[in-house]
Structure 1
């Protein structure tokens, strides 16, 4: 593993443990046992590391979501995708826990995220369209309901970790499963009878 990769991995661990407002490049260098100058040769400040970590997470998410869009779709696969995405977000949890502050602190990252959300909404709209074509999702309950549903997806997806940090009282190992179920509950009222039948047949021990 090269020095740059080690810096990014060490920073991720420290950011997850203590947050971006506490950790400096000097903390990261000390944790790695390298000089401050050596670290700054690769990353002059923590904002550049945060950008790198954000891009890594986006790349992983894009790969995972793209596989579902291009492959055969089922409600079971959708449930699995939600769990996989939430695990990825948990692995980069500092970004989600300090989300608003990071976006204010790094304006170009905020602009990049806005563009990402626009493209992600198109991807998720494609999933809704596929589910309708399969007869598993009802038509819009009212004009613009899909837009509102997608907005709910992103609100829960971006901020569930903040809520969990404050309100969740269950076992840590069950946290992702719990919020996976919360997320998925958004789509259940929109399912057709066919969709509901499939939903009830899902092996919840494997997907939730």
Structure 2
């Protein structure tokens, strides 16, 4: 792996494990056993590392968010799709741990993240509309709009909420719990047959403590 990629990989791991505000470029270079000057040759400070990691996250997530509009998905695929979205968030969880402060600190990211939130909402609307068209979901346009807003709030702030509750301790089950919360938002609007199936999925996430891979 080239030095630039090692810097990004190491930074991501440290930011995820300890929180971005608690890690300096000195910490990163020490972890890699390279000189601060070598790190600076590739990235002129921590801001540049944060921006590059965000751009990679944004690229990965946009690819996912556009998938429902580009591809015909079976109804079961939507729940797997939701899982993959939360998994992507987990991989870059440092961005979500203290989101308000991070966006205030890194202005180049703020506007891009706001657009990403809008894409998230549209993706949830698209999923609900497709489920409705397939006669799997019974909801008005107003209810779908509200479902999308609430799903985006959970997807965006769930990790921050859990970290606050548990005094900054991170557990990968937090993401599984977030998926459970989103599914239970949609479940009451599903037709009976789909509701039974989704209840089985919910039990998998809640009762068995289903975990995403680290």
TM-score normalised per structure 2: 0.83
Q: Which residue is equivalent to 2:198?
A: 199
Question: Quick check: 2:96–2:156 contact (8 Å CA) kept in 1?
Answer: yes
| Structure 2, gaps ≥5 residues long | none
Deviation at 1:25, TM superposition (A): 1.3
C-alpha separation between the residues in 1 aligned to 2:200 and 2:95?
35
C-alpha separation between the residues in 1 aligned to 2:155 and 2:29?
32
Q: Which residue is equivalent to 1:72?
A: 72
Q: Which residue is equivalent to 2:113?
A: 113
| Distance change (3 Å), C-alpha of 1:148 and 1:205 | closer
Q: How many residues align?
A: 205
C-alpha separation between the residues in 2 aligned to 1:22 and 1:64?
30
Q: Which residue is equivalent to 2:47?
A: 47
Q: Which residue is equivalent to 2:144?
A: 146
C-alpha separation between the residues in 2 aligned to 1:3 and 1:77?
38
SS at match of 1:138: coil
2:186 aligned with 1:183, yes or no? no
With 99-108 and 117-126 compared, the bigger mean Cα shift is at 117-126
Question: Quick check: 1:153–1:183 contact (8 Å CA) kept in 2?
Answer: yes
Question: Quick check: 1:68–1:77 contact (8 Å CA) kept in 2?
Answer: no
C-alpha separation between the residues in 2 aligned to 1:115 and 1:176?
22
TM-score normalised per structure 1: 0.85
Deviation at 1:69, TM superposition (A): 3.9
CA deviation map 1:91-145 (0-9, x unaligned) = 21111102111100012211111112223322322211111110011131xx633
Query: After the TM superposition, which residues 10-21 of structure 1 pair with which residues of structure 2 at under 5 Å, given as runs?
Result: 10-21=10-21
C-alpha separation between the residues in 1 aligned to 2:154 and 2:14?
25
| Distance change (3 Å), C-alpha of 1:144 and 1:102 | same
CA deviation map 1:8-49 (0-9, x unaligned) = 011111111221112111211121121212211221111111
Question: Quick check: 1:75–1:199 contact (8 Å CA) kept in 2?
Answer: no
Question: Quick check: 1:138–1:192 contact (8 Å CA) kept in 2?
Answer: yes
Q: Which residue is equivalent to 1:82?
A: 82
